[in-house]
Amino acid sequence: MIHNHILLTGAGFSRNWGGYLATEVFEYLLGSVDDELRELLWRDKENELPFEDTLASLQSSYETNRAPQTEQNLRNLDSALQRMFGDMTHAFHQTPFESAGRPSESHGVANFLTKFDAIFTLNQDTLLETHYIGKVTAAAFPRCVPASPLVGANRPGFVKAYDTLTHGDLANRIELYKPDHDQLMVTPTLQPYFKLHGSVDLKASDREMMLILGGNKAENIEKYPILKWYHEEFQRRLCIADSRLMIIGYSFGDPHINETIAVGVGRGLKLFIIDTKGVDRLGKSTAYRQLKGSVIGASRRPLRDTLAGQDMVELNKVNRFFRTGRMAVTHHPAL
- For the stretch 231-246, pLDDT in tens is 999 999 999 999 999 9
CA end-to-end distance (rounded Å), the chain: 35
* pLDDT tops 60 at residue 266: yes
* pLDDT tops 90 at residue 136: no
Q: How far apart are CA 271 and CA 238, in angstroms?
A: 10
- For the stretch 176-191, pLDDT in tens is 999 998 989 999 999 9
Those residues with Cβ within 8 angstroms of residue 6's Cβ, 6 or more apart along the chain or in another chain: 116, 117, 118, 119, 120, 237, 238, 243, 244, 245, 246
pLDDT (mean) for 112-135: 95
- For the stretch 7-56, pLDDT in tens is 999 999 999 999 999 899 999 999 999 999 999 999 999 999 999 999 98
* pLDDT tops 70 at residue 167: no
pLDDT at 285: 78
Q: How far apart are CA 81 and CA 224, in angstroms?
A: 20
Nearest to 176 by CA among 218, 137, 210: 210
* pLDDT tops 50 at residue 66: yes
- Return the amino acid letter for 240: I
The answer to whether 174 touches 13, Cβ cutoff 8 Å, is no
Task: Give me the domains of the chain, ranges plus CATH numbers.
Answer: 4-18+98-322 (3.40.50.1220), 22-93 (no CATH)
pLDDT at 287: 81
Q: 239, exposed or middle or buried, with CB in 10 Å at 0-12, 13-18, 19+? A: middle
Whole-number Cα distances in Å, 189 to 129, 147, 148, 192: 18, 10, 6, 9
Strand order in the sheet with 295-299: 152-154, 190-195, 118-121, 4-9, 243-248, 270-274, 295-299
User: Which region, left, alpha or beta, applies to residue 48 given φ > 0 means left and ψ of -120 to 50 means alpha?
Assistant: left
pLDDT tier for residue 333 given thresholds of 50, 70 and 90: very low
pLDDT (mean) for 203-221: 87
Q: How far apart are CA 263 and CA 260, in angstroms?
A: 5
pLDDT at 103: 61
Q: How far apart are CA 159 and CA 183, in angstroms?
A: 9
pLDDT (mean) for 310-316: 94
At 302 the three-state DSSP class reads: coil
DSSP state of 294: G
* pLDDT tops 90 at residue 119: yes
The answer to whether 126 touches 174, Cβ cutoff 8 Å, is yes
Those residues with Cβ within 8 angstroms of residue 264's Cβ, 6 or more apart along the chain or in another chain: 235, 238, 239, 243, 245
DSSP state of 184: -
Q: How far apart are CA 236 and CA 232, in angstroms?
A: 6
pLDDT at 135: 87
Those residues with Cβ within 8 angstroms of residue 319's Cβ, 6 or more apart along the chain or in another chain: none
Nearest to 165 by CA among 200, 131, 196, 199: 200
> Positive or negative, the Cα torsion across 13, 16, 21, 26?
negative
Nearest to 97 by CA among 114, 109, 79: 109
Nearest to 127 by CA among 256, 248, 267, 276: 248
pLDDT (mean) for 80-97: 92
pLDDT at 47: 94
pLDDT at 323: 78
